[in-house]
Structure 1
Amino acid sequence: MREAGNAIPFATISALGLTQIIGYGTLYYSFSILAPAMATDLGITLEQVFAVFSVSLFVGGLSAPMIGKQMDRAGAATVLTVGSGLSALTLALCAWSPSVAIFAFAIVLLEVSSGMVQYQAAFAALVENDPKTASRSITYLTLIGGFASTIFWPISAALMGYLSWREIYLLFAALNLFLCMPFHFWMVRKGRAANAKGAAKERERVIGAIPPSGRRSAMIVVSAAFAILGFTLASILAHMVPMLGSLGLGTAAVVIGSLFGPAQVLSRLINMIFGTRLSPPVLTVISAALMVLGVVILGLSGSWLPGAVAFAICLGLGSGINSIAQGSLPLYLFGSDGYGAVTGKMAAARLALGAAAPFVFAMAMERIGIGMSLFATAALGVVGMVAFVYVALTTRRGLVAAE
């Protein structure tokens, strides 16, 4: 389909879909698989490895607003291109690291580069391309990106049988440099070519549902809700496969964990077909409820295989919708003007709180056990769900009053 008017930009979505799979797979999902080997190689504990990861998430959160402003200023495609090069460089630095200090520094840089190449930047690129089609484009993109965990959890586990974690990171660096960076640079050149030919017309603006007077309070509530749900999800994802193994599921843990990705894709496919009937605030409530339900199921079922399968599916369904909401809800509430800066601020809150999630959850499992840790995480998720319910009700009342 032609990329003009209100047509969906399928070429751009396809390119971003591939780079999102590689970006999330190499920079995020592989970490929990490789972490035990990292700890053994560096002579530190697994908790210390996840502590480094938590610090990197925190620094990544601090950098998100700055990255968001740069996307508004220089263009999201340019940020994506630079981010791919930085990702490759930091993966190589991590693979080379001769000491814990250099390893820690590389992991921190890795999280900063992640903010430049993952969904925050990709969503901004789609809004930049055409705000009117951005919500649909975000759904299509997340439909593709949902395969990241399904592909990279098994790949990372399989590669551990043949390569060291350092060699795997070098391979991942090559993927970012030789696949992701060229696609992102193609997007930059495509945008410049359109401008040079005068083909780029003034895009229609999307006006947010929240009036200017209520934006500050809405930003606080929405940012807090996404941050709380982000903490819940990050706690589980960082430990998902090892945690399932510790519950007694053995080799089935990787297979069960791999269901998370298809469940994400399924939720996005359902949303693509039927989601137009639901507003983004309602979708966020549904996503939060599914994630909480999944965690509760695992806490109650333990090593029971059907319960673990239901957990992975519910968590994936909720996470899939949540990923869409992270892009569509800010656009719906606050509009397209300054979208990069808005999502940057929201990402900062989410990543700052989620930074502690891998370390806190690892420590909780060690101190109070997996079951109690899951129930505590679910309780926190309920708080986020209530906040989204408040946003949905408030937005609906505002729209009714405006009619």
Structure 2
Amino acid sequence: MAASSRFGGHGPLLLGLALTRIIGWGSTFYSPSVLVGALDREIGLNAEIVFGGITILLITGALVAPAIGRVLDREGTRRSMCIGAVICALGLAVLSQAQGPVSYLASWFVIGLGHAMSLANTGNVTIAQLMGERTRRVIGLMMLVTGLASSVFWPLTAVLMNAFGWRMTLIVFAAMQLVIVLPIYAAIPRYRHVPGPTAAPTAVPGASLAGEHGSVAAHSRRAAFWLVALAFSASGLVSWGLPLHLITLFQEAGLTQGEAVWVATLSGPATLAARAIDATLGERLRAEKVALFGLLLGPALCLLLPFVPMTIMTAAAFVVLFSAALGVISVARATLPLALFGRNGFAAMLGKLTVPQNMAFSAAPLLFAVMVERLGASSTLMISAAIQAIGFVAMFALVRMVARG
């Protein structure tokens, strides 16, 4: 009862939404990592094509996010998320029948549409419309739970695939969307939009004007938008690319494969720990200053690593600190737009920000694969530092703008 009242009576629903995040991300974004071998053996899909499905998912999300955002601000999220769950189920069912690269990649367009309607930004908008001033903490907790999706679905996918094959595994995932996810989405309260400058979600009576319209002055909103987009797109280009190649970078610097793999496994716990700290203590600090710290720590570490002797302890310290920086930035990416621009039009703003961010995310794996192969570890780290430094400068300019405002 205490936990439920702490979350405005929405405790059980939030637990259900946390479960839908694990199922949604685990069955779509993370499943190809386990299915890749079977897809290669049975229908001849190489790793580039298999993970190309994720690229299509991200690009599809970028293309439809602005339009979805406008609908979410006007109608709330329940209908969109319910439709999205059905579309995800359909996409997974189509994926289970793939016979080659064309049908495989086409199914990811369907999954990408469902993903954009029910996960990604939509989940954060739901929390904002339900939780009001407590949005930042709850989003942080939700992202903490989402970080468990791979830990749950990698072994689950492997068990199902070994028992029933990859096609039936995807059918099971499709059924989860209809049997588990859809009823939870249907339990989201109906959202009554009140047009006009004083609009406020009905779940948050008495919300402050700053919370409703944000901390950025009206005449600065366009500049603030592009600074946020630049900061998070630059950091996302690195965070979605560099971690995929850390094992290779550590091996090139002198660690054995076993040592490099062991060190790389520290990334997940460090990211989760940073998100947990931000979720519990972050409300005491402004979101843009937390993001600024993460954007400073990341490039500093990438700049420093090539100049220190590579040992297991050095690599471990880099992974822990770098992953912690990425953890707080990922939370800020979801919560900073709310602090800057307010709940009024929050979904539309997230939708617009998704376009440059998802384009950067989708390009990152291939870009870093090329850099690691052609330029080597040290140059890749230097370029990573430079890209993140662009993000830091943009965020620093944003902090100055907010302070002046």
Length-normalised TM-score, structure 1:
0.83
8 A contact 2:68–2:117 mirrored in 1: yes
- For 2:325, the equivalent position in structure 1 comes to 318
Correspondences of 1:73-88 after superposition (within 5 Å) = 73-88=74-89
8 A contact 2:303–2:382 mirrored in 1: yes
1:390 aligned onto 2:397: yes
- For 1:91, the equivalent position in structure 2 comes to 92
8 A contact 2:18–2:145 mirrored in 1: yes
CA distances 1:49-100 after superposition (whole Å, capped 9, x unpaired) = 4445334322221111122122112312322222222222212211211121
CA distances 1:234-286 after superposition (whole Å, capped 9, x unpaired) = 11455677888999765677765554333232112222343233111111112
- For 1:177, the equivalent position in structure 2 comes to 178
* 35-44 or 110-119, which deviates more: 35-44
Correspondences of 1:236-315 after superposition (within 5 Å) = 236=242, 250=257, 257-292=264-299, 304-315=311-322
Label 1:382 to 1:34 Cα distance change in 2 as closer, same or farther (>3 A). Answer: farther
1:355 aligned onto 2:356: no
- For 1:222, the equivalent position in structure 2 comes to 228
Q: SS where residue 31 of structure 2 aligns?
A: helix
Residue identity in the other structure for 1:221 = L
Q: CA deviation at 1:393?
A: 2.3
Residue identity in the other structure for 1:276 = E
- For 1:22, the equivalent position in structure 2 comes to 23
Label 1:8 to 1:345 Cα distance change in 2 as closer, same or farther (>3 A). Answer: farther
Q: 2:348 aligns with which of 327, 341, 346?
A: 341
Correspondences of 1:94-113 after superposition (within 5 Å) = 94-113=95-114
* CA RMSD, Structure 1 to Structure 2 (Å): 3.4
- For 1:209, the equivalent position in structure 2 comes to 215
Runs of 5+ in structure 2 lacking a partner? 193-201
- For 2:134, the equivalent position in structure 1 comes to 133
Identical counterparts, % of pairs: 27
| Cα distance in 1 between the residues matched to 2:26 and 2:371 | 26
| Cα distance in 2 between the residues matched to 1:162 and 1:366 | 37
Runs of 5+ in structure 1 lacking a partner? 194-198, 399-403
- For 1:401, the equivalent position in structure 2 comes to none
Q: SS where residue 355 of structure 1 aligns?
A: helix
| Cα distance in 2 between the residues matched to 1:200 and 1:72 | 14
Residue identity in the other structure for 2:88 = S
* 369-378 or 338-347, which deviates more: 369-378
| Cα distance in 1 between the residues matched to 2:360 and 2:388 | 13
The size of the alignment, in residue pairs, is 391
Q: SS where residue 29 of structure 1 aligns?
A: coil
